[in-house]
Amino acid sequence: MSKMHVKLTVNGKQVEGLAEPRTLLIHFLREDLKITGPHIGCETSHCGACTVDIDGKSVKSCTTFVAQVNEADITTVEGLTNDDGSLGVLQEMFREHHGLQCGFCTPGMITRAHRLLQENPNPTEEDIRFGMAGNLCRCTGYQNIVKAISASADMLKAQKEAAE
């Protein structure tokens, strides 16, 4: 099969490459672009470790062909740091509240939580649990993940108020 020319914006940077249409986005990100934040967990669209943000949607990149997202704007966990490279709010709160143990699910968790908080800046605990239902963690029991996201929502609100 012939390769196609792929053009994406990933974490604010224009990238280009050649890929077979059957290439899954997760493989293109990790193997071609060397962006290894998104993880390959279950490979069957259940675990959410491969979650990336595509044009404002949380998407499992193991179940997306790179051909489908040609020209799209993609954010991975690497793109959620502050401009100076320090940890972004969600990243900092996951550390602060111990929202991870082995860390394998964390890039997917943080990327999904980012979109959740964009859509709902004031989530209840129930909203967080429902909104994070597509991401599995086998270490934490989720309690501290929920706390970290809730704390992030508070901090983002405080930052926004301070800026106004």
Residue ranges in contact with other proteins by CB under 8 A: 1, 4, 20-22, 24, 27, 43-46, 48, 51, 57-60, 63-65, 67-68, 112, 116, 130-134
Q: How far is the CB of 59 from other proteins (least distance, A)?
A: 6
Give me the residues paired with residue 10 across strands: 13, 74
Backbone angles phi, psi at 3, to 5 degrees: -85, 155
Q: Which is nearer to other proteins, 63 or 101 (CB)?
A: 63
CB burial class (10 A; 0-12, 13-18, 19+) of residue 2? exposed
Give me the least distance between CB of 63 and other proteins, in Å please: 5
> Could you give the CA distance from residue 59 to residue 29 in angstroms, rounded to a whole number?
13
CA distance linking residue 8 with residue 131, whole number of Å = 27
Q: Nearer to other proteins by C-beta: 36 or 45?
A: 45
For the CB of residue 22, give the shortest distance to other proteins in the complex, in Å. Answer: 5
Q: What does the block give as tokens for 8?
A: 């994406």
Measured from the CB of residue 18, what is the shortest distance to other proteins in angstroms? 13
Cβ closest to other proteins, residue 58 vs residue 152: 58
DSSP state of 51: E
Concatenate the DSSP letters of all residues of 6-40 into one string: EEEEETTEEEEEEE-TT-BHHHIIIIIS---SS--
> Angle, to 10 degrees, between the axis of helix 143-163 and the axis of helix 89-96?
140
**42 vs 102, which CB is nearer to other proteins?**
42
The CB-of-4 to other proteins minimum distance in angstroms stands at 7
> In this complex, which beta carbon is closest to other proteins, that of residue 25 or of residue 148?
25
